[in-house]
Amino acid sequence: MPQVVRSPEELRTALAGRGRVGLVPTMGYLHDGHATLMRRAREVCDVLVVSIFVNPLQFGPSEDLAAYPRDLERDLGVVGEAGVDVVFMPDAATMYPPNFDTRVTVSGLSEGLDGESRPGHFTGVATVVLKLLNLVRPDVAFFGEKDWQQLAVLRQMVRDLNVSVQVVGLPTVRAPSGLALSSRNSYLSADQQARATVLSRALRAVQAAYAGGETDSAKLRQAGLDVLNADPEVALDYLSLVGRDMRESKSVDNGPMTRVLVAARMFGVRLIDNMPLVVAAQQADS
């Protein structure tokens, strides 16, 4: 079983003299998407650290901080099976002691899409991740591509602040239905999760239109909207095509970083997903 530590001092002791360190930051309620990150990290690192911390800074006043799913016993089972060495589980007072007044804001990348829908969210994410990077001092940190905008923000932060870490993003892990795995899926019943696959189906409709030769972003977006609009439960936040700079595209950039992103509420739960725009021969890998 992994060593569980709760303070920076315990963490430093646990990592003293260790080799190549990998970090998988999480908010707990772990699923196979998290486990995939851990297994990949285990392959390339001597020491694997997983943080479990429900970060209050990234939740807005009306969001689900109090209700966010938590199951420590289950989480420890997941990290044990993945071969994690150290689990860092600080509390909020440890991460944000009295008179904590510093925030990390990544301008530009944080301002649209989820940044517009959830003001302050990415500032909270960047702040906690920078603290974790400073505490753990990993050689490599692993994140899922489901949170594509978050990944872009963190990569920019690492570049801008000269943080000595390699940021690795791994493809979204999906249920057999196509639904992107997320801790918030636990809010949905099995039938509701089946309905929520409308998000991934909409993204695949955009992919199919692109693979068929369409390059006008309005027409590509409409292909996705046609799928989403067929389900009255979808309360759409955004469906956007973005280029490498995370800005909306008027025509498709043929590079591999071009993405279609969606966020919507279904059954009272906010869900996000994204997929790369790829040519037909690459679709099986998305």
**Which long-range contacts link 162-165 to residues 24+ away (Cβ below 8 Å)?**
163/130, 163/133, 165/23, 165/133, 165/138, 165/139, 165/140, 165/141
Spatial separation of the C-alpha atoms in residues 25 and 67, rounded to whole Å: 20
In DSSP terms, which residues pair with 260 in a beta bridge? 241, 275
Asked if residue 183 belongs to a known ligand binding site, the reply is yes
Asked if residue 239 belongs to a known ligand binding site, the reply is no
CB atoms within 10 A of CB 218: 10
Asked if residue 77 belongs to a known ligand binding site, the reply is no
Q: Which conformational region is residue 28 in: left (phi greater than 0), alpha (psi within -120 to 50 degrees), or beta?
A: left
Maximum C-alpha span of the chain: 57
Spatial separation of the C-alpha atoms in residues 272 and 188, rounded to whole Å: 14
Asked if residue 164 belongs to a known ligand binding site, the reply is no
Asked if residue 110 belongs to a known ligand binding site, the reply is no
Q: Which of 107, 161, 95 is nearest to 132 (CA)?
A: 95
Q: What is the DSSP string of 46-66?
A: SEEEEEE---GGGS-TTSSTT
Asked if residue 28 belongs to a known ligand binding site, the reply is yes
Q: Would you give the DSSP letter of residue 174?
A: B
Asked if residue 145 belongs to a known ligand binding site, the reply is yes
Asked if residue 150 belongs to a known ligand binding site, the reply is yes
Asked if residue 184 belongs to a known ligand binding site, the reply is yes
Asked if residue 33 belongs to a known ligand binding site, the reply is yes
Asked if residue 182 belongs to a known ligand binding site, the reply is yes
Asked if residue 231 belongs to a known ligand binding site, the reply is no
- The size of the chain, in residues, is 286
Spatial separation of the C-alpha atoms in residues 153 and 155, rounded to whole Å: 6
Give me the active site residues, please. Answer: 34
Asked if residue 60 belongs to a known ligand binding site, the reply is no
Asked if residue 115 belongs to a known ligand binding site, the reply is no
User: Do residues 142 and 39 touch, judged by C-beta distance below 8 A?
Assistant: no
Asked if residue 166 belongs to a known ligand binding site, the reply is no
| Positions at the binding site | 27-34, 58, 144-147, 150, 173, 181-184
| Positions at the binding site for ATP | 27-34, 144-147, 173, 181-184
| Positions at the binding site for (R)-pantoate | 58, 150
| Positions at the binding site for beta-alanine | 58
